[in-house]
Structure 1
Amino acid sequence: MTTQRIFITGGASGLGRAIALRYARAGWRVCIGDVNATRGAEVLRELQPLAAAALYLPCDVTRAEDLRAVAERLTADWGGVDVVVNNAGVAAPGALEDVPLEDWDRVLDINVMGVVRGCYVFTPLFKRQGHGHFVNVSSLAGLLDVPRASCYNASKAAVVSLSETLQNEFAGTGLGVTLVCPSFFKTNLAESLRNVDSATRAAVNRVLERSKVSAEDIADQIFQAVRERTFYVLPHAQGRQAWLMKRLLPRPLYMRIINKQMRRMRGSDSLKDG
């Protein structure tokens, strides 16, 4: 059986790193792309004992030419790629008027257009091969509408819509899509925050650290979903419940529940800050 091949954007930390290690342990050829060369080299050293052909390639998802260079390199070295994980992302919490427009530009360029570029560049390669699978990492924020996160919510909702559309477009072909919508989990997402005060950054870190679901747990679920060609991956039980509530409950009742939960969360943070 031919060794399978995977490429992961944002692969040098957090969920991207966990996915890379999960696939390396399963015997896949693994390539990570990232803008952080230092972390890329560190993860590559972790991967090499597990997957001797592992690669780290500098890749900024805001540059289509970087993604094209990766596609060309993997075609030359590996003869193609079987799975592409569009994982790179950043956050920008805050009410609509509190998030600078330049932060909106940055978040949309990375979270939305970064996924679009990944799919745009690799779809022709997948079609030439006759097979291929995208894993697009969105967020529960893309399915819900949590207050004070309009920029992040909107960017992740776009990834949901894009992925659902591609699933329709790829029907009956050898191409597939998996959409991943995690809630909070232990990662370094807070590092991507700009124009926020230390209290907001600390609050985000606390929420991430409280999660009982790890990046490794989510990587396991992604591995299983790709193998079974499952579309939706919602790793958190509470997230699945919230999504169900949004779809089934009257909008006013759903809004009251969500706002009550957010007030409780902020109240808990305020007590800890004091």
Structure 2
Amino acid sequence: MTDVSIIRGKVVVITGGARGIGLSTAKALQKLGAKIAIGDIDETAVKESGAASDFEHYGPLDVTDQRSFNDFLDEVERQLGPIDVLINNAGIMPTGKLIDEPDALTRRILDINVYGVILGSKLALARMLPRHSGHIINIASLAGETHIPGLATYNASKHAVLGFSDTLREEYRGSGVAISSVLPTLTNTDLGSGVTAPKLLRAAEPEEIATAIVQMLASRRSKVRVTTVAGVISQIVGLLPQSVGDAIGRSLGSQRAFLDDVDATARKKYEDRVRGTEE
């Protein structure tokens, strides 16, 4: 049994913490005695979530802006002390065919999902390495181990997060700073709204991802896939010849899940928000 008592008193920063996986993780860690700081680009939502849960620190954070990110971390350390854990959770997942994706949206996906993770990791390492202590957790996706029509740029961003995290893990081995990645399947959050999981799979609940992160912090494990079944399928398919793996994906319905099978009405609010077209 993993000893989660070591989480008590830890200063934890979570990006994209106003909702979904970020908020569920913040709540789970707060229950274990961690000092929580959440940041989010949605200033109204982060203030509402932070106040409702009585987190120690909460406020606006743009992970694509170096000054915003650095100032946020500085303020957390002034208020709560040295940061023990950074969870790079902020990310967006617009759906649709690449040819229909505006260039500005392509850049936005990469800026948030990739550059935001790199920037956050860099800023956290600068604080953690001199203390020989700390843990950086990057929220990737099982999409980073496979290819799903309708998510081309998102897939690319999560492949990048995995490669980046695995490289940092070796680059800073022995430094006292742990680098980990979490690979969720489709999750029941706003990000997954209007999408039905492919056959044989089920969407995860954000609380399941939060539980995996709690266990990861306690064990300093480098990688975890959620759900277990989805993770096993992803790994097996990855070992098969390409034609066989692609055929399995088609048989499960993955080629339609994020295109023809999307409930556009149910997904509209999320798509408008991440595309910046909210009224």
Q: TM bucket by the smaller chain? A: 0.7 to 0.9
Partners of 1:5 and 1:83 within 8 A in 2: yes
Q: TM-score, normalised by structure 1?
A: 0.86
Distance 1:223 1:154, change over 3 A: same
- The SS at the match of 1:135 is strand
Note the 1:5-16 alignment, pairs <5 A: 5-16=11-22
* 1:188 Cα deviation after fit: 1.1
Unaligned segments of structure 1, at least 5 residues: 191-201
Task: Tell me if 1:238 matches 2:229.
Answer: yes
SS of match in other structure, 2:250: helix
Shift of 1:84: 0.2
Instruction: State the shift of 1:86 in Å.
Output: 0.4
8 Å CA contact 1:11, 1:87 repeated in 2: yes
Asked if residue 30 in structure 1 is aligned to residue 36 in structure 2, the reply is yes
Deviation at 1:207, TM superposition (A): 4.5
2:246 maps to 255
1:1-274 correspondence runs (5 A): 3-48=9-54, 54-189=56-191, 203-204=194-195, 206-207=196-197, 211-261=202-252, 262=254, 265=257, 269=261
Q: Distance in 1 between matches of 2:85 and 2:100?
A: 38
One-letter amino acid matched to 2:45: R
Gaps in structure 2 of 5+ consecutive residues: 1-5, 266-279
Cα distance change on mapping 1:129 and 1:269 into 2, 3 Å: same
How far 1:175 moved relative to its partner? 0.3
> Cα offset for 1:269?
3.8
Specify the SS of the correspondent of 1:3: coil
CA spacing shift, 1:152–1:218, aligned 2, 3 Å = same
Does the CA contact (< 8 Å) of 1:185 and 1:215 recur in 2? yes
Q: Deviations over 1:206-258 (max 9, x none)?
A: 449x9452101110111101110111110113321222223321111001111
Measured after TM superposition, the shift of residue 19 of structure 1 is 0.7
Is the 1:96–1:148 Cα contact (8 Å) retained in structure 2? yes
Q: Percent identity?
A: 31
Stretch deviating more after TM superposition (210-219 or 104-113): 210-219
Q: Residue deviations 1:155-176, cap 9 Å, x none?
A: 1110001100010011111100
Give the secondary structure class of the aligned counterpart of 2:179.
strand
Give the Cα separation in 2 of the matches to 1:147 and 1:58: 33
| Partner SS, residue 146 of structure 2 | coil
1:32 aligned counterpart, secondary structure: strand
Report how far residue 265 of structure 1 moved: 4.7
Distance 1:10 1:42 in 2: 13
Structure 1 stretches (4+) deviating beyond 6 angstroms?
Answer: none
For residues 256 and 50 of structure 2, what CA distance do their matches in structure 1 show? 41
Q: Cα distance 1:72–1:47, how it changes in 2: closer, same or farther (>3 A)?
A: same
Q: Give me the whole-angstrom Cα distance separating, in 2, the residues matched to 1:263 and 1:90.
A: 20
Deviation, structure 1 residue 105? 0.5
Q: C-alpha separation between the residues in 1 aligned to 2:203 and 2:92? A: 22
Counterparts of 1:88 and 1:270, CA distance in 2: 23
Matched AA of 1:221: A
Paired amino acid for 2:244: L
CA distance in 1, matches of 2:35, 2:260: 44
Say how many residue pairs are matched.
256
1:97 match: secondary structure: helix
Give, in angstroms, the shift of residue 34 of structure 1: 0.7
Mapped partners of 2:81, 2:228: distance in 1: 39
The TM-score with structure 2 as length reference comes to: 0.84
